[in-house]
Chains A and B, each alone.
Chain A
Amino acid sequence: MSFFRKLATKPWLEQDTMDNPRPADIVPAETAKVGLFVFLAVITFLFFLFFVAIHMRADYEDWVALSEPSLLWVNTLLLILSSVAMQGARSASRKGETNAVKVNVTAGGVLTVIFLLGQLFIWRQLIDDGYYAASNPANAAFYLLTFVHGAHMLGGLWVLGKTGFGLWAGRRVESVALSVELCTTYWHYLLLVWLVVFGLLLST
């Protein structure tokens, strides 16, 4: 039943109708997915608001776009690769191949860590070249967006790290299938966010 159809029911007339078989049919995995979905909605709003705010600020004439360091392309590639690895982990976990999951999860994690180190390196480079946050709003926006995106990646790494270490400590794939599933979705999503951030940075 669609949400609006549900809202149109007349509860005072209905008794005993059991068209709501919860929670018997609900598996915990589904609940976790709903939770993740709600969370993704929240970060969508968060990044959307950051974009709007920065966009409004970019209309002012003191905004001097910064020429993106070429290392950013490499980092983007790393992030894409980590997403690919996560995808591999997901399909391996669906097939129940513990080893492949282990390898892919590790690859995804390591690539992400390198991505984050790369981002830090870019910050270092920019600061050495005199692109301080305070010297131009465009610089500030760059630091801000990469910081917020990186913080979200770090949060993901925490969960992925627990999963990965669990696998290395000998956990079976069934017991981590759910976190692999959720991490993969999250990784793809943050890749998408990153591509939008990157596009925004390139376009200004």
Chain B
Amino acid sequence: MAYVAIADRDHEQPLHHPHSFITKWVFSQDHKIIAVQYGMTAVGVGLVALGLSLLMRLQLGFPDSFSFLTPDTYIQSVTMHGMIMVVYLLTALLLGAFGNYLIPLMVGARDMVFPFMNMLSYWFYLLSVIVLLTGFFLPGGATGAGWTLYPPQSITGGTPGAGGGIISMLVSLAIFIVAFTMGGLNYVTTVLQARCRGMTLMRMPLSIWGIFTAAILGLLAFPALFVAAVMMLFDALLGTSFFMPAIISQGESSGTIGGNPVLFQHLFWFFGHPEVYIVALPAFGMVSDLLSTHARKNIFGYRMMVWAIVAIGAISFVVWAHHMYVSGMNPYFGFFFATTTLIIAVPTALKVYNWTITLWKGNIRLNVPMLFAIGFIFTFIHGGLTGLYLGNVAADIPLSDTYFVVGHFHMVMGVSPIMVIFGAIYHWYPKITGRMFNNTLGKIHFWLTFLGVYSIYLPMHYLGFLGVPRRYFAYEGISFSETTQAVNANITIAALIVGVTQLLFLFNLVWSLRKGKPAEHNPWGATTLEWHTPDKVPGHGNWGASLPTVHRWAYDYSVPGASQDFLPQTMSSEEAISLGARGTEET
């Protein structure tokens, strides 16, 4: 086996083996531990965001019943909830946690290529979370500018947190971007450089394609947010006027002269729209693997799926101004951006068809990860269709800033990636911990969450048609229809139920860690490399003495004639033929 010897040349670059508890579990450079650290921090801060959303819902469902809710706390909650969910929860969880865990294992590497930088990435992320949360305790509280942080209002007196909260938010974002860049460099370079023998780009599982493309998007899009944040910090701290226009308030000039607030919006959305795909693409990728594995069928149209991921990534950089239809722009611009927005729907729709066709005549196993994956198809189609609708200037203008938009983006970028994340956590839980989760609890979690989110967000579309505006604390005497208040109360009850259900999920994770039944080595019968490590729960360096060699793509499920319904990526054609597989001869 001369190959093995060559393939293990990487031993020349000795792995850094940790010795003490601190270097093993705290300042660890092992991608799997960093992934878990990222995941736990993200879930922790995500719970804060969930709590904030429930506060908002209490106010909307039962106005004036809770004295601790004021207009200020409401808008602060909206802002922090939105920003935490999008950046500190979803981005960190999908790339920091899943990216870290899956990339080296799925491409057959021993670790990320720059482990030290990878560790720094996590600690910077943690720092950014801490700085963000200090906003709550500063005088004036957290910022209440809305998650879009539009100036001048975000840094003008009268907005909650205009003195301290916004600074902590901007500084935290800048730190987060540094953290992301260090992580992103690792993800991209590892995929490019550390794939094992035989793992060509087109043999990578779609999870990796999604994460890889998303990491590139992030590396190119986050700088825009960085520029916006730094310039706004200048405006807020040094009194410059990059964004701050001349303002006369109560007869007094603010001192600033002629800045350009729309410039901020361009920068923000040049980041903000790709950000949607930074969270969507990893989710697309992982859900493809989940669907294929649990339907025991190869993913339909693998090449198209890869092309669609790459195409969506590229187009996502030229649609940003569809968030600015009401900011005032040249109508031709509006036309251009409406067109690109509709174009991006084409590869997206293609993916949806391919997922659905993958299920067609599959040997579907309705276990918990699969339930969430199928749930995702529903929520994503739903949110995607309303997105097409809003992409048209004529439909968007009356619906802008109503609950229709809130319903839309929660379906498409809130609930959908979360469904995949739940599915993925259940799917890889046995790999990470070596134990199975509790199936019944998982199913209860799925059904309550799935039906719950529909009862939350479906009615919001209706409220939007009635004209109920978003980011409002109370509707002071305006009743949009007789039922508005009742609908809102129902939504709140559904939200509380969904919120509490998540505790069930956390309980399941923690409880199964100890009490779950020991998992088999490859409980789902999956083909991908991470299920074929020498140890059930891979140790430091992942692959024991020698790196794996890949002989086939990641989707050989139910190959005709074969006596087992999956052929691992590591299986050579001789072995496959000896299992009776037909149509696998060398071509």
Structural contact, B113 and A35, CB atoms closer than 8 A:
yes
Structural contact, A16 and B572, CB atoms closer than 8 A:
yes
Structural contact, A133 and B197, CB atoms closer than 8 A:
no
Query: Please, how many angstroms separate the alpha-carbon atoms of A20 and B259 in the complex?
Result: 53
Query: Please, how many angstroms separate the alpha-carbon atoms of A16 and B576 in the complex?
Result: 11
Tally B residues with Cβ within 8 Å of A.
67
Q: Given A42-B223, A49-B224, A49-B227 in contact, is the A12-B238 Cβ separation under 8 Å?
A: no
Structural contact, A23 and B196, CB atoms closer than 8 A:
yes
The stretch of A56-64, A66-74, A166-174 that contacts the partner chain:
A56-64
Closest residue on chain A to residue B576 by CB atoms: A15
Tell me, rounded to whole Å, the shortest Cβ–Cβ distance linking B207 to chain A. Answer: 15
Q: Given A11-B202, A49-B227 in contact, is the A134-B114 Cβ separation under 8 Å?
A: no
Tell me, rounded to whole Å, the shortest Cβ–Cβ distance linking A56 to chain B. Answer: 5
Tell me, rounded to whole Å, the shortest Cβ–Cβ distance linking B541 to chain A. Answer: 14
- List CB contacts (< 8 Å) of A27-74 with chain B: 28, 30-31, 34-35, 38-39, 41-43, 45-46, 49-50, 53, 56-57, 60-62
Tell me, rounded to whole Å, the shortest Cβ–Cβ distance linking A8 to chain B. Answer: 8
B286 at the interface (CB under 8 A from A): no
Structural contact, A31 and B573, CB atoms closer than 8 A:
no
Interface size class for chain A?
35 or more
Interface bits B221-249 vs A (CB < 8 Å: 1, else 0): 00110110011001000111110000000
Closest residue on chain B to residue A133 by CB atoms: B238
Q: Given A9-B200, A16-B551, A62-B258 in contact, is the A39-B185 Cβ separation under 8 Å?
A: yes
Residue of A20, A49, A50 near B197 (CB, 8 A) is: A20
What A residues does B444 contact at CB under 8 A?
none
Tell me, rounded to whole Å, the shortest Cβ–Cβ distance linking B563 to chain A. Answer: 18
What B residues does A20 contact at CB under 8 A?
195, 197-200
B404 at the interface (CB under 8 A from A): no
Structural contact, B189 and A35, CB atoms closer than 8 A:
yes
Q: Given A10-B303, A134-B238, A140-B242 in contact, is the A23-B195 Cβ separation under 8 Å?
A: yes
Q: Tell me which of A9, A10, A140 has the highest count of chain B C-beta atoms within 10 A of its own C-beta.
A: A140
- List CB contacts (< 8 Å) of B240-266 with chain A: 240-242, 255, 257-260, 263, 266
What B residues does A61 contact at CB under 8 A?
258
Residue of A42, A53, A143, A144 near B267 (CB, 8 A) is: A53
Q: Given A23-B547, A50-B227, A57-B263 in contact, is the A9-B202 Cβ separation under 8 Å?
A: yes
Structural contact, A22 and B194, CB atoms closer than 8 A:
yes
Query: Please, how many angstroms separate the alpha-carbon atoms of A166 and B109 in the complex?
Result: 30
B376 at the interface (CB under 8 A from A): no
Structural contact, B553 and A12, CB atoms closer than 8 A:
yes
Tell me, rounded to whole Å, the shortest Cβ–Cβ distance linking B380 to chain A. Answer: 24
Q: Tell me which of A15, A20, A38 has the highest count of chain B C-beta atoms within 10 A of its own C-beta.
A: A15
Structural contact, B240 and A140, CB atoms closer than 8 A:
yes
B354 at the interface (CB under 8 A from A): no
- List CB contacts (< 8 Å) of A132-150 with chain B: 133-134, 137, 140, 143-144, 148
Closest residue on chain A to residue B4 by CB atoms: A24
What B residues does A39 contact at CB under 8 A?
181, 185
24 cross-chain CB contacts under 8 A:
A6-B201, A9-B200, A10-B303, A12-B556, A15-B584, A16-B573, A18-B198, A21-B197, A28-B13, A35-B186, A38-B189, A41-B220, A42-B181, A42-B184, A46-B226, A53-B267, A60-B259, A62-B241, A62-B257, A133-B238, A133-B240, A137-B257, A137-B259, A148-B230
Other contacts beyond A16-B552, A53-B267, A140-B240: 7, CB < 8 A: A7-B303, A39-B181, A49-B224, A53-B231, A56-B260, A62-B258, A134-B239
